Structure 1
Amino acid sequence: MFDGPSPDDHASRLKALEDRIKAAKGDEARHHSEEHYSQAQVAWRMVIELVAGLGIGFGIGYGLDFLFGTLPIFLVLFIFLGFAAGVKTMMRTAQEVQKRQLAEPDSKNEDD
């Protein structure tokens, strides 16, 4: 009786197919998609940093106004301070990205 191909045969055929697909795609396709994904991560990180700065400033300002009974004064002040802190953090992130991008071509030239 013939029961069909063995499980080992399926595994070896699947491995061979995966190797052929990997060879056909090459490293370039994977590198390009990882680079794009990394840029999207950095963009979201910067947006979150700005919103977090605004949110923390709003929370502190509202809390102080609630305690002292001076509703708009500290709220407005700390929203502006939170915005400034968020922008400063975004600029620091942008500098990190710029340093990383400037360092990449040097490492690529060393590999060649």
Structure 2
Amino acid sequence: MAQEPDPERLRALEARLAEAKGSKAKPAAAGKDFSQAEVAWRMVLELTSGIMIGGSIGYGLDYLFGTRPILLIVFLLFGFAAGIRTVMGTARDMQERQLRAQAIETQAEHSAGTEG
């Protein structure tokens, strides 16, 4: 039978490995930093997908009710608004990540300056 790993021993081992490497280990939950191009493409895709989904719904409803192009135009505008809202949320999230990273960096520089 396999033994269950002891969490305290694992943490102690990780701390010793980080100390041996001479640098602090980054937490696993830190995630991946995205480049500016990746963020820009994400925003473009969010906006266009909102417009396309809204247009598709509008076209489908126009087809069902025979009211061409009224619902198509209305739902295109709804899709555009939804896409803009999603892009703004993404921009807000990216700004918060950047501010957190700057705060951590500033805190690390401050603590390094007081150690010496």
From 64, 68, 72, the equivalent of 1:71 is: 68
Aligned to 2:99: 102
State the partner residue of 1:51: 48
Aligned structure 1 segments of 4 or more residues deviating by more than 6 angstroms: none
- Three-state SS of the structure 1 residue aligned to 2:48 is helix
Equivalent residue letter for 2:92 = Q
Q: Which residue identity lines up with residue 83 of structure 1 in the other structure?
A: F
Displacement of 1:60 in angstroms is 0.1
- Provide Cα deviations, 1:13-64, integer angstroms capped at 9, x if missing partner: xxxxxxxxxxxxxxxxxxxxx97x6111110000000000000001000000
Q: Percent identity?
A: 53
- What are the Cα deviations for residues 70-92 of structure 1, in whole angstroms up to 9, with x where unaligned? 11110000000000000000000
Q: TM-score, normalised by structure 2?
A: 0.63
Secondary structure (helix, strand or coil) at the match of 1:70 reads coil
Q: For structure 1, list consecutive stretches of 5 or more residues without a partner in the other structure.
A: 1-33
TM-score normalised according to structure 1 size: 0.65
Displacement of 1:98 in angstroms is 0.7
Gaps of 5+ in 2: 1-31, 110-116
State the Cα distance separating 1:109 from its structure 2 match. 2.1
The structure whose RCO (Cα within 8 Å, separation 6+) is larger is 1
Distance 1:53 1:68 in 2: 22
Larger Rg belongs to: 1
Match of 2:88 in 1: 91
Structure 1 residue 111: deviation in Å? 2.5
What is residue 31 of structure 1 aligned with on the other side?
none
Quote the residue 2:38 is aligned against. 41
Amino acid at match of 2:99: L
